[in-house]
Amino acid sequence: MSTSFNAYALIGVCLSKESWENGLKPEPIVEEKPGCACNAEFSKKKFCPECGQPNLVKVVINQKEIDKFNTYDAVEKLAKSLKLKMACGYDGDFYCIGVGSGPAGNYEPDAIRMEIRNIDLVVIETKLRKALAPLGLWDENEFGLWAVQYVG
């Protein structure tokens, strides 16, 4: 059994798993459907006069999508759509998204230089704010330089 250590440097935001889930998990879409199979005429009454079942029941129509929601996949998809990088904590307890650098996927000691001369912090911050604010995920205090270590 071996242990690997990876370190990432990102300029962006770092939020807890729960925060990402609150913003990215699909909202339930609820639809009303007939509640009984009787041939009784639909009435404005709450219950069917023949069987006693509710005339209308609420059904979540995207339950499968909610059940299969994966925080890692959702944050990774968002990062790719913004052409940014993502890093996460052990067991996905937090996720960072932004401009960054990390290991190339090999197991040899490595040093990666991140070119900072051409990084425009205002552009990165604006891009993240535009994407995250509508989801309720933007927190100005969470924007900055993050050093993330992952041990797996």
Q: How many CB atoms lie within 10 A of CB 17?
A: 17
- DSSP-derived secondary structure letter, 133: G
CA–CA dist 90, 67 (Å, integer): 22
For 114-135, write each residue's pLDDT tens digit. Answer: 667 777 888 889 999 999 999 9
pTM, whole model, 2 decimals? 0.67
What does the mean pLDDT of the chain come to? Answer: 81
For 1-17, write each residue's pLDDT tens digit. Answer: 677 777 788 889 999 99
Joined together, the tokens standing for residue 136 give 């309720």
Q: Name the residue among 137, 146, 151 with its Cα closest to residue 9.
A: 146
CA–CA dist 8, 124 (Å, integer): 17
